[in-house]
Amino acid sequence: MGSSPTVLSRWKCISTGSNSGRGVWRGARGLTPQALSRYHLGGLECAELGNPTAISLSLGAARRGSLDLVLMLPEQILAQVQKPARYIGSEHNMVRKDPSMVDVRVVMCYPDLYEVGMCHIGLHILYNIINARADAYCERSFYPQSDAVVLAKQAGAQLCALESGDPLAVFDIVGITLQHELTYTTVLAMLRLGSVPLLACERGDGEPFVVGGGPCAFSPEPLAPFFDAFVIGDGEEAVEDVVEVVKTHRPRGRQAVLNELARLDGVYVPARHDPATDRIRKRLVADLDAAAYPSKAIVPWVEVVHDRAQVEIARGCTRGCRFCQAGIIYRPVRERSPEKALELARALIDSSGHDEVSLVSLNCPDYTLIEGLIDRLHEELGDQKVSVGLPSLRVDTFSVDLAKKVQQVRKSGLTFAPEAGSQRLRDAMNKGVTAEDLLSTVQAAFAAGWHKIKLYFMIGLPTETDEDVLAIPQLVRSVAAVGRRTLGTRSPRMAINVSVSNLVPKPHTPLQWEGQAPADELLRRQGLIRHAIRDRQVTVSFHDVRQSVLEAAIARADRRMADVILAAFEAGAVLDGSGPRLDCDLWNAAFEQAGLSMADAAQKQFDPEQPLPWDHIDTGVDREFLLAERDRVGAGQATPDCRIGGCTGCGITRLGECPLVAPEATA
């Protein structure tokens, strides 16, 4: 009940007498003394004060002071929900401040469950930056699981921040991270449950400024009516600017704050900017060593998805896979120095007690000094049985040495992403990997003791033929054969997990003009793979086509999509990417209501001569570069990694130096 029991459970003492234990306590809206009387309060008596949200309580001596001004009223409710420890806050390293002593209160929201949202590094980076300021307090909020939402709604409870237990509506800034399109209805659900008006134009003075950030802020139009502002690009410096503007200009009223926000670099204010004429250039943090990064991590009570310390070692990627949005919007590549990374890992482990540190970047093996860094991490942390993890490995750069290095303390699974089955299509997608690379790498991994290999593929790529699709099971069979040969008597333990996703063309990529393949075609191609793999040690999982279609429909949409999202939310859509089966009928009805079609929106082919709905957002990468890359898709031509092959002229140098690019190739 991320929100609900938190909400329900926390009553703030607004005037007291805490020594006597008698005082006026303010609780969640809707919790009346009548409602309270249903609970056994363990020595509490309550009397109504006329205001349904304020109640005079007298604490029994036994409970006095034991819960820091927090009264756990509805423990019956917390006890009824799954994993209640998600909703109680007070985790190790949570920042505690007196909210009444700061000028600006911020709540960072992640529109998914606690165990997903708590793994997001960006949230922790911003949390620490804001909390380093004496004049601001940043708290956290996540969307509760459905069982808790039901109970919260029944009790009339609001979505609250974990730190103070205050509802979102009382904050100055509600920051929302936008990681992917299928969280959009959850964004609205959080605002509604937190009593924040959904539409920016309906918010008045005294109501929060809703500010979005993250990759989806690079194509903000589908959410534009709901947000007061979007921060485009790196948030480390921009978030301080936003806090400063709110602090300084709030006394002059909401409109004045919006005016000032619109003047900030990298901040898009839908109520002030005109997408047809204005250009918002992304914010860029030039030096990661100088950028703030948390040295203390909040340690969740419950097991979260990535239950470990995370050190971001680099931002950006030079590989240039043509479907990849992150590879464009996080340019240029910047690396944190090994010294800094090591210092952060040490500090994070010391302050958290985690048993694993994970190095995070779009592609860890590309990190210039990766082997040295892993060696030093082992030296530094091995005696405490702390293991080092590398998520997302590319095939070609992953050496046997690296495979052995990361397994020294503990073996985690190995994941490779060849993405396409055939060489032709891998070249067309600029996924510069050969089957030989993959097989030799996999062999090295099996030889080094791994049994579990995960392979990521994508279907629905432009120019894809059935031959390309069938090359996926062929490649998988080769991997399995290498595994059996290499593992010998241990081969019964081999497990190969193949994960097949569907291309969702994303804004700002060379594929941004392309329509998605129709749903029935994607399903047919999934079937080709499913029927071609018959191996008990190979598990194939397919990404839900309905989710991919919806994601594609929203990803490249214009502002009209906001009506669809709102209608779907009002009809009950929430957690579309992670909840139970996506309700397509509900979404189709929402599209129809707005005079749109989900299939058409997903398959829409944009004319390169026409403007795009995200043209007002400038990633620093030139449109001409994307168009040239698009042409090379058709020609099946790869573009060399600019770290090796020299500058490809993507345009990012407009925003500053590009530190890792090789000097112009002399050919």
Partner 1 sequence: MSSGLRPYARITFGKHGVLRFVGHLDVARVFDRAVRRARLPVAYSEGFNPRAKLSFGPPLPVGAEGDAELCILELAKPLQADEIRRRLGEQLPKGLAITHVETGRRGRRSPLADMERACYEAELVLEGSTQQQVGRAAEELMQLTALEVQRNTKRGPRLHDMRPDILALELREGSPPTLAFALRMSDGPTTRPSEVISAIARLLGPQGDISMARLTRTSLV
Q: What H or E segment, with its residue span, contains residue 649?
A: none
Tell me which DSSP letter residue 172 carries: S
Closer residue to partner 1 (CB): 81 or 612 = 81
> Please, what is the minimum distance in Å from the beta carbon of residue 376 to partner 1?
19
* Smallest gap from residue 536 Cβ to partner 1 (A): 24
The amino acid occupying position 325 is: Q
Cβ distance to partner 1 smaller for residue 56 or 351: 351
Return contacts of 592-598, CB within 8 angstroms, 24+ apart.
593/563, 593/564, 593/567, 594/560, 594/561, 594/563, 594/564, 594/567, 596/560, 596/561, 596/564, 598/549, 598/550, 598/553
337 or 351: CB nearest partner 1: 351
Nearer Cβ to partner 1, position 43 or 649? 43
Cα dihedral 370, 374, 376, 379, rounded to 10, equals: -170
Q: Of 527, 519, 509, 594, nearest to 549 (Cα)?
A: 519
Residues that bind partner 1 (CB under 8 A): 39-40, 42-43, 66-67, 70, 72, 75-76, 78-79, 83-85, 87-90, 92, 299, 301-303, 349-355, 384-386, 407, 409-411
Min CB(428)–partner 1 separation in Å: 40
Longest alpha-carbon distance in the chain: 85
Q: CB 193 → partner 1: shortest distance, Å?
A: 20
In the complex with partner 1, the residue whose CB is nearer, 301 or 456, is 301
Closest approach of Cβ 116 to partner 1, in Å?
A: 17
286 phi and psi, to 5 degrees? Answer: -75, -40
**47 to each of 30, 59, 145, 151, how far by Cα in Å?**
15, 12, 32, 24
Integer Cα distance of 425 and 466 in angstroms = 11
- Residue 520 CA to residue 545 CA, distance in Å, equals 9
Q: Record the tokens describing residue 522, joined without a space.
A: 């994607």
Nearer to partner 1, 279 or 410 (CB): 410
Q: What is the DSSP letter of 425?
A: H
CB 231 within 8 A of CB 212: yes
Residue type, 138: C
Q: Which is nearer to partner 1, 385 or 530 (CB)?
A: 385
Closest approach, Cβ 448 to partner 1, in A, equals: 12
Partners of 56 in the beta sheet? 24, 47
In the complex, what is the shortest distance from the CB of residue 396 to partner 1, in angstroms, rounded to a whole number? 27
Nearer to partner 1, 15 or 66 (CB): 66
Q: How far apart are the first and last CA of the chain?
A: 61
CB of 575 to partner 1, least distance (A): 23
In the complex, least distance from residue 113 CB atom to partner 1, rounded to whole angstroms: 16
Question: How far is the C-alpha of 235 from the C-alpha of 134, rounded, in Å?
Answer: 19
Name the DSSP letter for residue 291: S
- CB of 87 vs partner 1, minimal distance in Å: 8
- Name which of 385 and 531 has its Cβ closer to partner 1: 385
Q: Which is nearer to partner 1, 8 or 596 (CB)?
A: 8
